[in-house]
Amino acid sequence: MIIVMKPQAERQNVENVVKLVEDNGLKVHLSQGAEVTIIGVIGDKTVLMDKNIELMKDVDKIIPVTESYKLASLKFHPEPTRVKVGKYEIGPDTLTVMAGPCAVENEDQLLEVAREVKKDGAQILRGGAFKPRTSPYAFQGLGEEGLKYLKEAQEETGLATITEVTNEQALAMAVKYVDMVQIGARNMQNFQLLKEVGKSGVPVMLKRGLSATIDEWLNAAEYILSEGNPNVVLCERGIRTFETATRNTLDLSAVCVIKAKSHLPVIVDPSHATGVWSYVAPLTRAAVACGADGIMVEVHNCPEKALSDGPQSLKFDSFASLMKDLEGYKKLAGRA
């Protein structure tokens, strides 16, 4: 449930309510806005039934929360969350661009791509050091060597960096080198990994599972949040449907639904959604129009020779054109 305090409630009265809740063995999530303070109660609320909290000083009202996710809910946290990644921030009023190759292949390749996407206006360099692939014979990534190249690119260009982690060992390694980690679609419901990422405190981008509902996606985010890590960004990357014209079906309505249900930032990955580079630009523009807080696109210096996902990767000129085109869309959407 949520305890809504009256506007300009006195600090001591807020603390009194918090103490009562915690003294009864429940957890508290405190959200303090410019005028109103909201106290989210996590746990078995029946122990508070006879406490007459609504009669306590400066308490305005009590609202039940029916969603299974609490910390991810907009009711618990009415202000949009901003997630700091390196020197950049993902959240309202900004449009964050993550760009780079699907996989880190070698030092020269990554540095060349990093320099180019930086020049064209990206803020975060993406690159996979650990690659979960459908086929066991496909390129699986360079591991720690790839992480070192990401760190080198970060130091040279000033870009923040993100890479996918596939297990606890990869997570422990990645946090030494990158600014943000990604939980891929295949691991969205790897609950043990979600808990470990939550404990790490490192900013995390959580991709929607191939067949996950929005509520299942938000509950996955809840695993991370419940371990004390508030730095969660959601990523819509397409879901599996009957359609075969594209790799997946990009659900842009999910952006609108997330904005209505959760305070967490949400970005869109049109590259993985479609698997076709020529569809990336129009769907990026559509994502901005829908209210996405950012985009993630794949960029490669030579897609024809890419070791992973070449057909969906933009060449340098296509990425530069997209970034130039986005300026007008950003202004219309009220984003910097």
Which tens digits make up the pLDDT trace of 67-110? 889 999 998 888 899 999 999 999 999 999 999 999 999 999 99
What is the average per-residue pLDDT within 269-286? 97
User: The domain spanning residue 35 has which CATH number?
Assistant: 3.30.70.1140
- Cβ atoms 19, 51 nearer than 8 A: no
How distant is the alpha carbon of residue 148 from its chain centre? 23
Q: What are phi and psi of 219, to 5 degrees?
A: -70, -35
Query: What pLDDT score does 44 carry?
Result: 82
Q: What angle do CA 103, 108, 111 make, to 5 degrees?
A: 75
77 found inside a domain? no
Q: What angle do CA 67, 197, 233 make, to 5 degrees?
A: 60
What is the average per-residue pLDDT within 183-203? 97
When pLDDT is cut at 50, 70 and 90, the band that residue 336 belongs to is: confident
Number of domains in the chain: 2
> Could you tell me which of 138, 139, 161, 165 has the C-alpha nearest to residue 149?
161
Tell me what the pLDDT averaged over the chain comes to: 94
Q: What are phi and psi of 320, to 5 degrees?
A: -60, -40
69 found inside a domain? no
78 found inside a domain? no
Q: Give me 231's structure tokens.
A: 């730095």
How distant is the alpha carbon of residue 135 from its chain centre? 27
Q: Which of 35, 63, 91 is the last residue of a domain?
A: 63
When pLDDT is cut at 50, 70 and 90, the band that residue 137 belongs to is: low
71 found inside a domain? no
Query: What pLDDT score does 334 carry?
Result: 87
Strand partners, 30: 39
Q: Which of 63, 92, 107 is the last residue of a domain?
A: 63
Q: Which of 33, 63, 93 is the last residue of a domain?
A: 63
Query: What pLDDT score does 71 carry?
Result: 93
What is the average per-residue pLDDT within 192-216? 97
74 found inside a domain? no
What's the pTM?
0.91
User: The domain spanning residue 204 has which CATH number?
Assistant: 3.20.20.70
User: Do 32 and 181 belong to one domain?
Assistant: no
What dihedral angle (degrees, nearest 10) is formed by the CA atoms of 292, 204, 89, 265? 30
Query: What pLDDT score does 36 carry?
Result: 81
Query: What pLDDT score does 8 carry?
Result: 85
- 3-class DSSP state for residue 183? strand
Q: Return the CA Rg of the chain.
A: 21
Query: What pLDDT score does 95 carry?
Result: 96
User: Do 132 and 207 belong to one domain?
Assistant: yes
User: Do 144 and 13 belong to one domain?
Assistant: no
- Cβ atoms 210, 186 nearer than 8 A: yes
Query: What pLDDT score does 133 carry?
Result: 66
User: Do 58 and 89 belong to one domain?
Assistant: no
- Cβ atoms 108, 82 nearer than 8 A: no
- Is 80 exceeded by the pLDDT of residue 33? no
- For 207-248, the pLDDT digits (tens) are 999 999 999 999 999 999 999 999 999 999 999 999 999 999
68 found inside a domain? no
Give pairs for 188-192: CB < 8 Å, separation 24+: 188/212, 188/216, 188/217, 188/220, 189/216, 189/220, 191/220, 191/223, 192/168
Q: What angle do CA 161, 255, 225 make, to 5 degrees?
A: 60
Q: Which domain holds residue 28?
A: 2-63
Identify the helix (H) or strand (E) that includes residue 251: none
What is the average per-residue pLDDT within 281-308? 95
299 found inside a domain? yes
- The residue among 29 and 326 whose pLDDT is bigger is 326
How far CA 134 is from CA of 75, 137, 157, 186, 255, in Å, comes to 38, 9, 33, 10, 27
User: Do 31 and 149 belong to one domain?
Assistant: no
Q: At what angle do helices 253-261 and 280-290 cross, to 10 degrees?
A: 30
User: Do 260 and 197 belong to one domain?
Assistant: yes
User: Do 160 and 297 belong to one domain?
Assistant: yes
DSSP 32: E
CA distance linking residue 307 with residue 22, whole number of Å: 53
106 found inside a domain? yes
User: Do 239 and 154 belong to one domain?
Assistant: yes
- Is 90 exceeded by the pLDDT of residue 308? no
User: Do 137 and 18 belong to one domain?
Assistant: no
Query: What pLDDT score does 202 carry?
Result: 97
When pLDDT is cut at 50, 70 and 90, the band that residue 12 belongs to is: very high
Q: What are phi and psi of 68, to 5 degrees?
A: -75, -25
- Cβ atoms 22, 30 nearer than 8 A: no
User: Do 59 and 190 belong to one domain?
Assistant: no
User: Do 102 and 246 belong to one domain?
Assistant: yes
User: Do 323 and 282 belong to one domain?
Assistant: yes
Q: What angle do CA 238, 200, 206 make, to 5 degrees?
A: 5
Q: Give me 177's structure tokens.
A: 């080198």
Query: What pLDDT score does 45 carry?
Result: 83
What is the average per-residue pLDDT within 252-275? 97
Query: What pLDDT score does 31 carry?
Result: 84
